[in-house]
Copies of this chain bind each other. A is one copy, B any other.
């Protein structure tokens, strides 16, 4: 038990896994029959490939660190089967525009470099995409707001590997390729070399998650972890690190993980290869986002004997590129007035680790790092009387560059980076209040967006599709 081994620590560790050793019956007849999973995960793309998020309440209830049980998964195809007995022989290369290209086994990676451990929240670029899909079908499946998870990752900072290889002049990018064999080739993507070399950016070649060998769904046995960026850049089952002078032309680098201009329709996008290849539209840093966990969807609150009571509205927020969420605000009147929520940043607790502290075999030294790579939690006690008399509860976050989440959705072809104010509708039903989230993940019915759309409301009319005032058009 890591906490017992570090009695002085006050930073969070993962809750105990509930995982069994049994493969779920759903997976038995798939190429993933070797992968043990948790049945609570919601499958977003049928049975296979495995793309899943936890129910939002379950994810939130686990706290700061997510277990492997409930960590979201984004797989493009079958999970590579790295046999347990051989994982330390797993090899990957560092090559391309370097003085001394080399091949490294996982055992070499562990033996020859200083290991480090720190927490990172990974977020799928598709987090909250279901909302986009209701407005207009995008080219992507329907994530709810639980497409994010936080783990303690152990491994070697990428700059150490690049320094050993010796980057040649003129190099500008670094390409990562994984062991996934897919219809459009291996999964691979590139990053700016300057960022990859910057210790403050925290690029990590990881082989442990919450102190354990990586779960197969999370890249067993070696993966990239890029803090503050969308999960799609953190290549799993790592096979190649290639230093280059140009961005990757891998199909998945070009046609995935992009926010095309909102002017581009799905139909038009088919004949716009230069738009797809425009690096300006590639997503790297996460944008600033937030969601409310409680009240949960369909949660019911009795109004009997609640005089003087408050309800603790609460949820999560995050930003990208190391930026901190500096304020979270709640409105009960559609943005006319705002209340300031409390923010808790458990990530800060790791910065207080004592000098030289080790965790899971890696140095835990975040005292020098002025960046936030994890989600934070916000909450606010609101009088029941106010909740009972409002129509909706909306939340928005602001980051330390003073950028605030937008009121309105920025719809795009791939439906990514959806971050308008998260809105929960409050229904009055006899002696109860019932709460309604925007959507439910995957094909699950429910949520005010679907309801409003079915009733003929135009969700993007600036009033969330409700007949408030005269609508334009």
- Residue contacts A-B, CB under 8 angstroms, 5 given: A280-B400, A287-B403, A321-B323, A336-B473, A402-B410
A40 shortest CB reach to chain B, Å: 30
A395 shortest CB reach to chain B, Å: 14
Contacts of A335 in B (CB 8 A): 408, 462
**Judging by beta carbons under 8 Å apart, are A401 and B339 in contact?**
no
Contacts of A462 in B (CB 8 A): 335, 462
From A261, which residue of chain B is reached at the shortest CB distance?
Answer: B340
**How many angstroms between the C-alpha atoms of A283 and B462 in the bound complex?**
30
**Judging by beta carbons under 8 Å apart, are A368 and B400 in contact?**
no
**How many angstroms between the C-alpha atoms of A401 and B403 in the bound complex?**
10
Sorting the interface of chain A by its residue count into under 10, 10 to 19, 20 to 34 or 35 or more gives 35 or more
Taking Cβ atoms with an 8 Å cutoff, the residues of A that contact B are: 192, 194-195, 198, 200, 259, 261-263, 280-281, 283-288, 320-321, 323-324, 326-327, 329, 334-340, 368-370, 398-404, 406-408, 410, 417, 419, 462, 468-473
A272 shortest CB reach to chain B, Å: 12
A233 shortest CB reach to chain B, Å: 13
**How many angstroms between the C-alpha atoms of A398 and B261 in the bound complex?**
10
Contacts of A468 in B (CB 8 A): 472
Contacts of A285 in B (CB 8 A): 323, 400-402
Given A338-B262, A469-B469, verify A403-B194 contact (CB < 8 Å): no
- Number of copies of this protein chain within its complex: 2
- Within 8 Å by CB of A401, from B280, B287, B469, lies B287
From A280, which residue of chain B is reached at the shortest CB distance?
Answer: B326
The binding surface of chain A is classed by DSSP as loop
**Judging by beta carbons under 8 Å apart, are A403 and B403 in contact?**
yes
Contacts of A195 in B (CB 8 A): 370
Given A200-B194, A200-B198, A472-B468, verify A402-B283 contact (CB < 8 Å): yes
**Judging by beta carbons under 8 Å apart, are B401 and A320 in contact?**
yes
- Within 8 Å by CB of A469, from B262, B408, B471, lies B471
5 closest Cβ pairs, A-B complex: A280-B326, A285-B401, A194-B370, A469-B470, A403-B403
Given A280-B327, A370-B192, A469-B469, verify A263-B340 contact (CB < 8 Å): yes
**How many angstroms between the C-alpha atoms of A471 and B400 in the bound complex?**
33
**How many angstroms between the C-alpha atoms of A280 and B192 in the bound complex?**
29
Question: Taking each of A261, A326, A334, A401, which has the highest tally of chain B beta carbons within 10 Å of its own beta carbon?
Answer: A401
**How many angstroms between the C-alpha atoms of A194 and B351 in the bound complex?**
14
Given A370-B194, A469-B472, verify A329-B287 contact (CB < 8 Å): no
From A337, which residue of chain B is reached at the shortest CB distance?
Answer: B263
Given A326-B281, A327-B261, A462-B462, verify A321-B401 contact (CB < 8 Å): yes
